Chains A and B, each alone.
Chain A
Amino acid sequence: MAAGRTLDGPKAALSAAYWVFVLYLLGPLLLMTAMSFKAAEFIAFPIGETTLDWYAKVVQDGQFLSAVGYSILIAAATTLFATVIGTWIALVVSAESLWLRSLVFALACLPAVVPGMIQAISVRIFIATLDVPTGTGAIIFGHTLHAVPFVMIMALTRLRTMPGSLVDAARDLGADPVVAFLRVTLPYLKPALYGGMIFCALLSIDDFVRTFFLGGYRTTLPMLIFARLQGGMSPEINAMATLVLLTTAVVGLYAEQLTRKARTR
């Protein structure tokens, strides 16, 4: 770094590093997208003639459509459960008078730090000892377990900025604790919860390892793409993956903006 002495040398180098990193992050995904327009049967560069046929094929692919439906079903259930439980835990953790607060917080965070693979196996063993079969319920349980800490942390960061006097005032004005929660705390939490809900849904839709160990015969989207990858590859997978990528990226960016707003407002 000989340029370190001039003022603009390091800045230019850092700027270059940023753009190389952007290229690194987006390049492979752009290549994947580009390949979905290839006219020929096999995946290889250069692309040559282009076509939209693969998209037409994907949209008519029964397996793909059923995987989309199944993924959305699981994501919706996961979002519902994880949001309720995560918010509830956050409320308990933020209650000041609780002596075992830090223990509850640490245990609530546990699923976020246990490596995904181990969590999947432990839940697999757990449901086997309870005689619960693998399948939809098990997947939803596994995904919910994974998402709860994230919702809790998002709700907690929002709760921390909330003046306690708001709830006190509601109580003074005749609201019982339940109504005070519904009328004051919940609306205050709303932006963080919207962000958290989208986050849950995307975590669930993207998840592979938990579904792999807990799933039954129906496949979710990542499972389907994984299975197709291990079979013969054709640009149809690219079209499929591109559709999923576009959807999740748009929804994810929207959620990111939402939580950012929630944090700063």
Chain B
Amino acid sequence: MTSLPADTTHRAEAGAKPPASAPRYAPGYGRLMRSPFYRATLGLLAENRAARLAVFIGVPLLWIAIAHVGPIVQLVRISLLQHYPITDGSSPSYTVANYWAFLSEPLYSLPLMRSVVFAFCVTLVTLIVVYPVAYYVAKIVRPQNRTRALLLLLIPFWAGEVIRTFSVIMLLANRGALNVLLREIGLIDRPIPMLYNYFSLSFGVIYLVCLYMLLPLYSAMEKIPNHLLDAAADLGAGPFTRFGRIILPLSKDGIVSGCSLVFLTTIGVFATPILLGGPSTGLFPETIAAFFHGASDKWPVGAAMAVVMLAASLGLAALFMRLVGGKRSARFL
């Protein structure tokens, strides 16, 4: 934004446009629009419709093609390679052997099954646990207190995966709060091993993902008009009928987006299983990660597994959305 003396810009412009048409208000922007630097760059773009559209649409499309699609395409490509670092001069040879290696080896396919089942159970439990809470905040708390009731639940949302997992260890460790409390009241005399098994893992993961369920459910339920419920009650519907015929169908969008978010997040958690899982709870992300720790020659098999996991998780989420039939726009909060 170089600003030359005003009279030179006027002289340069005088032939093309009468100065009277220059905008009088917002003098800063008027000067900006008239400055030669602007006219040579953004101004030129603003006047040429085709160039403007090309830049306006081109830059985001380029970013999406490179950053959003590129890595996934590369992932798929590497997963089909016979050897990964391709030696100079040789052409890459493609094969599906990496996928066969995955399918024929239970050491690899079992963790995937475990991950999918685990994510499914976590999603179900989270839905059951969070649904009444979301209903309470959206429908029973008085409107003026609603934001406060919601913000109280959002405090932990901003602590990251590692910190929240760590705080779960505080609760469940052998000398953690729960065991010490139980021993103090005399219910147990030896600590119950709660860490490093499926219990601690699911506890930690649900702790991590439950707010992804709460927010979509809350925003769906908040939209249910109260007079529908009142009318149903007047017409003699009991609480269960009202729940089954009004609240449940009308919160379907929230259920769909909440469950999809929770499922996809659970499938991808990485730090929590390392910190809270034990030898018997090996989930798929850990299996995949093992292929990426050392040299890159094992990448094709790891990439094949990542592709399988991506397809499985997105496919299951899409299937679920299709089955329950939420609106497309409801996928996000």
Contacts and interface: CB of A to CB of B under 8 A. Distances in A.
Contacts of A95: 56-57
A121 to B, nearest CB: 5
Interface string A158-190: 000000000000000111111100110000000
A45 B177 contact: yes
A21 B155 CA distance: 13
The size class of the interface chain B forms with chain A is 35 or more
A116 B314 CA distance: 13
A194 interface: no
Contact of A244 (B43, B69, B163, B270): B163
B156 A178 contact: no
A246 to B, nearest CB: 9
A31 B177 contact: yes
B306 A31 contact: no
B33 A237 contact: no
B47 A245 contact: no
A263 to B, nearest CB: 10
Interface in B161-179: 161-164, 166-171, 173, 175-177
- Name the prevailing secondary structure of the B interface residues: helix
B132 interface: yes
A122 B158 contact: no
Interface string B147-163: 10101111111111111
Contacts, number: 264
Contacts of B314: 113-114
Given A11-B140, A21-B153, A28 B57 contact: no
A253 B288 CA distance: 35
The size class of the interface chain A forms with chain B is 35 or more
B268 A116 contact: yes
Nearest to B49: A177
A52 interface: no
A22 B150 CA distance: 10
Interface of A: 4-5, 10-11, 13-15, 17-18, 21-22, 24-29, 31-32, 35, 43-46, 85, 88-89, 91-92, 95, 98, 104, 107-126, 128-129, 141, 144-145, 148, 153, 173-179, 182-183, 202, 205-209, 212-213, 222, 225-226, 229, 237-238, 241, 244-245, 248-249, 251-253, 256-257, 260
